Chains A and B, each alone.
Chain A
């Protein structure tokens, strides 16, 4: 399924947050969104996911949803948002209940936990898991619904650098096995150039699309040392540097 963001604008009480954003995401493509703090990345993701209504413009989906899709647009949140009273398999089960029968559910849970390497932790509670494992659970939960589009809002930013590296590899692996369409918000340019087919750079608030950088090296062949990847990262930093410095020096409610 592809995604089209058409002239989307949004504002809160404090003034405009997003200014005429237009972006297309092709089926099976990962679009990364980078931009200074407070420029409206999370807001844009909520608009795309239908958790908020855009003040202007619209978000369209096109094409067929994959077979067995239970929730066309699924989120992975920065702070995991797992139910602390449910086990790992219970948290995955939550999004399947009422949609799959008991047996089909058990099968789907086992399948997705195997894919994310969580099979041994099926009956653990979230508090027993490390941050990285918790985010793996949240990713499993999103994958279990066989989404047409995944929306990831800084999914790795609450994790330490080593765990982040491991999870990045996992995400690449998952995508290679079964390509999914995704919008991936991050502050981390290294993440953006490793996971994104294209990287959209937003200006500081009100967010506008400044540039969309395309990286043609296939996801499976990228590393920090790949010339195109390193080049793209340097270019992105150049684009974002001044914006970030300026955004850093603005008062939140000014």
Chain B
């Protein structure tokens, strides 16, 4: 079963046909164990450590996005620095671009990842990672992490 850590109407609209999506309960932020990510609070950070989902976002980003967007969202010679993009982009904007793709100037192409299960199911984690980068909470290196928390909420 595929699931997101959080969802939004736009995401549902784009993907409802393809994937079944888990929606989480009201966001909370007591500690990493009870942390529930949301578009407003996508990552958990304490004592220099991030929640496991945000860490997963780091590794997924570096598997599939960094070849164009550079290490740690710093940008490269042919795609923008997402570190800066996420200072202004919302979760909705973000999902839109990654799912639909976009063609910019000079053959600058952001591919559509709608068909990529590895990305679609980890998108909220990637967002959390990049948002933490954009907020200056974590640096360019591999972030330290809290252990994985078994999700208590059952899949829909």
Does A associate with B in a complex? no
Binding site for B on A (CB under 8 A): none
Binding site for A on B (CB under 8 A): none
